[in-house]
Amino acid sequence: MTTAAEGRRPVVAVLYREALPPRLAEIEEIAEVRLTTADGLAEALDGADVLYQWHSFSPALRENWDAAESVQWVHVSAAGVSQLMFDELIGSDVIYTNSRGVLSRAIAEFALGFVLDMAKDAQASFRLQQQHRWQHRVTRKIQGQSALVVGTGSIGREIARLFRAVGMEVGGAGRSGRAGDDDFPRIHSSKDLASIVSGFDYVVLAAPLTDETRGVVNAHVLAAMSPTAYLINVGRGELVDTDALTEALAWGSIAGAALDVVHPEPLPDRHPLWSLNNVIITPHMSGDTEDYLDDLGRLFVDNLRRFCHGEPLENVVDKTLGFVTAS
């Protein structure tokens, strides 16, 4: 990196909305820091080497791109960045990194929690408890059940490891079908979901949102799922055709769904998904553990040290694809 060769402290513009990022004192030890909200970003970018986008999904960089001539590296405190890509950024030499991997274990635990919740019929137990009713029922074992994980990146692999640890059989679906690896005995092409899903008890969405994955679970795929199967989405809401999913759930053509993300988001108050007994909805919180903000901050500080020493950065996004391609 040129900053290392010049032997000077890099200038880091930190874009935030309300709360400042953690580990700010560590950043200030390494670099000259310019704190800014979106309305001051153009001024903060003037002469800056780095943009630390703590306000993860702000469109401010696109709106102030003309002021980013000196920027060499942009880091965003999120894993999914497709909505932040734009032609000028994609075509530039600016290195773009994300926070891939920081939240993967937490999201995988959430996905496993969804499986257990649905297999053990916890929602029905809670409703019966509220009615003061003692009603014995039988539930489903998860040992020996099968799950197709759509998305074989960091999150998908953590999901696969946890599911296998409790005795589930796991397959993967990614950009292309290929022989398996340590986490997935076999990886199918996500283009072929409709011909694959019927053999799985759970279909778990953990893919990034791209042009290829948008609406990947449509009416055709839902119709191909087993009527006893469940859909879990911890990826992005737009991976699923919401209208088709609502219809499938209402008619019972699949057993149920657990959705940490939806489209639109937040889900409108009168949307029919809220009222279906075979649906679990959480407000896009699967990765948000008590210490996740500090973990996100640590990743940036570690990468900033790499930047200062001219070392390769972690989590470099392929800007044409919209995600990190490394396994």
Residues labelled as active-site residues: 236, 265, 284
Residue-wise burial string across 127-149, b where 16 or more C-beta atoms lie within 10 A, e elsewhere: eeeeeeeeeeeeeeebeebebbb
Contact 13, 50 (CB under 8 A): yes
Strands 32-36 and 186-189: unpaired
Residue 25 has phi, psi (to 5 degrees) of -60, -35
Angle between helices 154-165 and 104-119 (to 10 degrees): 40
DSSP-derived 3-state class of residue 20: coil
Contact 115, 147 (CB under 8 A): yes
Cα–Cα nearest to 149, from 111, 182, 119, 99: 111
* CA-wise closest residue to 324 among 179, 190, 186, 154: 154
Within 252-320, where are the H helices?
292-308
CB 87 within 8 A of CB 62: no
